[in-house]
Amino acid sequence: MRSRSLFALLMLVLLACSCEAACANELHQFVRGSWSDIRKAHAGKPTVVHFWGVTCGPCRIEMPNWGKLLVERPDLNLVVINADLVPNDPAAVTAMLAETGLAAAENWTFGDGFVERLRYEIDPRWRGEIPRTMLIARDGATTTIDGAADLDRVRAWLDAQRGVAN
């Protein structure tokens, strides 16, 4: 009987892990209210939010570096949002995420044809230029990096955030 219980427990743990991995690879639809949901879900944790696009040349160059940073810092709280104009080709989005090592990140894609409204919810001054990165501190203070991000600057910010927790 004891071995059956242990086996059942092991199966539940494996199922939970596989569900968690599947959820991490899910491509969420970014619609009205998603920005608020993301901010609430990551409140109190240093979070990096990176906006990119399949059709963005600089993004294609930069994205593999984000994938390497995620490997380097597995505890990185990284949210990646495809901000291309809608409609997006989900296959192209997921392929690029896989190619660049970002499939395991928290991934979103604009899912509302009224992209101006989505951008306004994020930042009323944002006109849609990508790549764009937002560094959100534990206290909610946000630093925005327009254009390709200097990942050494991001690392320094992450290290400073880690020091705040100590």
The region, left, alpha or beta by phi > 0 then psi within -120 to 50, assigned to residue 142 is beta
Average pLDDT of the chain, as a whole number: 87
d(CA 92, CA 81): 14
Question: Is beta strand 27-30 parallel, antiparallel or unpaired with respect to 142-146?
Answer: unpaired
> Which of 88-97, 132-141, 156-165 has the lowest average pLDDT?
156-165
Rounded mean pLDDT, 18-35: 72
pLDDT of residue 37: 98
> Is residue 19 over pLDDT 90?
no
Structural domain contains residue 4: no
Q: pLDDT of 99-148, one tens digit each?
A: 999 999 999 999 988 999 999 999 999 999 999 999 999 999 999 999 99
How many Cβ atoms are within 10 Å of 28's Cβ, its own excluded? 16
pLDDT of residue 163: 79
pLDDT of residue 87: 74
Task: Say whether pTM exceeds 0.85.
Answer: no
Structural domain contains residue 59: yes
Amino acid of residue 161: Q
Between residues 150 and 16, which one has the greater pLDDT? 150
Structural domain contains residue 118: yes
Rounded mean pLDDT, 55-65: 95
Structural domain contains residue 49: yes
Amino acid of residue 94: T
Rounded mean pLDDT, 52-65: 95
Tokens representing 102 are 């970002």
How many Cβ atoms are within 10 Å of 115's Cβ, its own excluded? 16
Confidence of residue 20 (pLDDT cuts 50, 70, 90): very low
Amino acid of residue 66: W
Between residues 53 and 8, which one has the greater pLDDT? 53
Amino acid of residue 99: E
> Is residue 24 over pLDDT 70?
no
The sign of the CA dihedral 49, 51, 52, 56 is negative
Structural domain contains residue 22: no
Structural domain contains residue 62: yes
Containing structural domain, residue 136: 27-165
DSSP bridge pairs for 52: 82
Structural domain contains residue 20: no
Structural domain contains residue 8: no
Report the domain count for the chain. Answer: 1
User: What long-range pairs does 70-73 form, CB within 8 A, spacing at least 24?
Assistant: 70/101, 70/102, 70/104, 70/105, 71/101, 73/155, 73/158
Rounded mean pLDDT, 49-56: 96
| CATH code, 141 | 3.40.30.10
